[in-house]
Amino acid sequence: MAAIEKRSGADWQKLDKDHHLHPFTDHKELHQKKSRIITRGEGVYIYDADGNKILDGMSGLWCVNIGYGRDELVDAAAAQMRVLPYYNSFFQCANPPSIELARMLQEVSQPQLNRVFFAGSGSESNDTIVRMVRRYWDLMDQPERHTIISRKNAYHGSTVAAASLSGMKAMHRQSGLPIPGIVHVDQPYWFGSDRSLSPDEFGIVAAGSIEDKINELGVNKIAAFIGEPVQGAGGVIMPPDSYWPEVQRICDEYGILLISDEVITGFGRLGTWSGADYYDISPDFTPFAKGVTSGYLPLGGVMISDRVADVLIDKGGEFFHGYTYSGHPAACAVAIANLKILQDEQLVERVKDDIGPYLQAGWKKLAEHPIVGETRMIGLMGAIEIVKNKKSLQRYEEKQGVGTICRDHLINNGLVLRTVGDTIVAAPPFNLSHDEADEMLEKIWRCLDLTQATISA
């Protein structure tokens, strides 16, 4: 039955080196160290080919929100694949799982978001939005309105349009990005600023950079603004409370479309069904992916507001856009099973009222560590800022690679977290128990000690 050969860890590493190019990876460096072969997952733990048990503090890549080993999702995929593994949603066809999922998505989304366009990933969802936003303004007889404002250090995916929306310099330095018609303004990263303003003053100034850009380019050129409610890959950057209300005001005042990239924050990560719910904003588009299936199968999509959908439908005729796997029946069946688990087990509420506050309390205490300058967490999405000087909050020199040192200590001690520069980020599964949260916290403290010892050695 098994489709996969049994091989030793060393064999897998050799084959991986010879035949497999990894995403976001320096291959020369990887093959000096060898890849870590993950073979199994159960609950909040993953297991590697050497038999190590590792607590997955990142839910895979911010996606395995209900944890590993849930048979309901496996059974949903198998049952659907037996009945109808695939059929397309082009040519006036649809399949029951995609329709049922569309209904459920509407149910957990804000009232203005009644329609979904399916894609295969977050990147494809954002590419869809770039095209849809421009199509909308064409249909509104304002074809000049094509520019989308995004933010520095944002992450919206890796395809050409999504990488252009992303604000990552390292990505833009490669392959001639960003494409025209996408501009970037300041991110609301108070800790990363000179901290001369209060967080709320800083939030207003950061949002103000959107208004400045609108005025610089002319409002008749601006189609939309896109932001992650909490920036994920950029370092779990939580905007000051003043930020999102001001962004909403600006979008309303200038009539530009608001895109809330919910690929990480959707489906409970912040203890609410969306980041837009958490910050009480009212977007026209919410791209989603990751948590919609808890990563068990790839699926993405975009929830679209009535304001936009009505125009596309009434005036648009055919929109020449779509993916072979838009509305993939097996992926949609898995998403339905996943949403049912989130609802039946009240996991979003659990993040808000139980495990979220529990982990947050311990997270706060990590701020007492001598090399920690700040900790922050909303729901189950958190960050720890490593600093050299706790008083002045001065950082270590970049070339010391302190974040990487800490991450390596963590994984060697059985906990996966990610680092972005010297910021440690965490996003554990929603089924994390209190004991497992304690294990995370204890390991982080110990590895901060080890990191400090490594640097001083």
Ligand X SMILES: *Cc1c(COP(=O)(O)O)cnc(C)c1O
Residues 78-97 binding ligand X (CB under 6 A) are none
| 232 lines the binding site for ligand X (CB under 6 A) | yes
59 binds ligand X (CB under 6 A): no
Please report how close the Cβ of residue 289 comes to ligand X at its closest, in angstroms.
Answer: 4
Q: Based on the number of CB atoms within 10 Å of its own CB, is 280 exposed (0-12), middle (13-18) or buried (19 or more)?
A: exposed
Give the span between the Cα atoms of 67 and 439, in whole angstroms: 16
Interface with ligand X by CB under 6 A: which range of 80-88, 217-225, 226-234, 303-311?
Answer: 226-234
Which residue has the closest beta carbon to ligand X? 122
Judged by CB, which is closer to ligand X: 211, or 261?
261
Residue 431's SS3 state is coil
**Which window, 93-101, 189-197, 261-269, 346-354, contacts ligand X (CB under 6 A)?**
261-269
Any contact of residue 155 with ligand X (CB under 6 A)?
yes
| Contact indicator for 229, 341 with CB cutoff of 8 Å | no
User: Does residue 308 interact with ligand X by CB under 6 A?
Assistant: no
Per-residue contact flags (x/-) with ligand X for residues 277 to 296, judged by CB under 6 A:
------------x-------
Would you count residue 127 as binding ligand X (CB under 6 A)?
A: no
Candidates 36-44, 260-268, 409-417, 449-457: pick the segment binding ligand X (CB under 6 A).
260-268
DSSP 8-state symbol, 253: H
Q: Min. distance of Cβ 368 from ligand X in angstroms?
A: 30
Bond preceding residue 23 cis, omega within 30 of 0: no
Count of residues near ligand X by CB under 6 A: 15
Work out whether 157 is an interface residue with ligand X (CB under 6 A): yes
Which of 322, 326, 266 shows the shortest CA–CA distance to 290? 266
| 121 touching ligand X, by CB under 6 A | yes
Q: Which residue has the tokens 């035949």?
A: 19
Interface pick for ligand X out of 44, 46, 183, 263 (rule CB under 6 A)? 263
Out of 145, 156, 269, 328, the only residue in the binding site for ligand X (CB under 6 A) is 156
- Characterise 150 by phi-psi region: left (phi > 0), alpha (psi -120 to 50), beta (else): beta
Burial class (CB in 10 A: 0-12, 13-18, 19+), 61: middle
Contact between 233 and ligand X per CB under 6 A? yes
Q: CA of 320: how far to CAs of 128, 135, 142, 181, 311, in Å? A: 11, 10, 19, 20, 15
Does position 228 interact with ligand X (CB under 6 A)? The reply is: yes
| Helix, coil or strand: residue 153 | coil
Tell whether residue 237 is a contact of ligand X (CB under 6 A): no
Q: How far is CA 118 from the centre of its chain?
A: 17
- Positions that interact with ligand X (CB under 6 A): 121-123, 126, 155-157, 228, 232-233, 261, 263-264, 289, 300
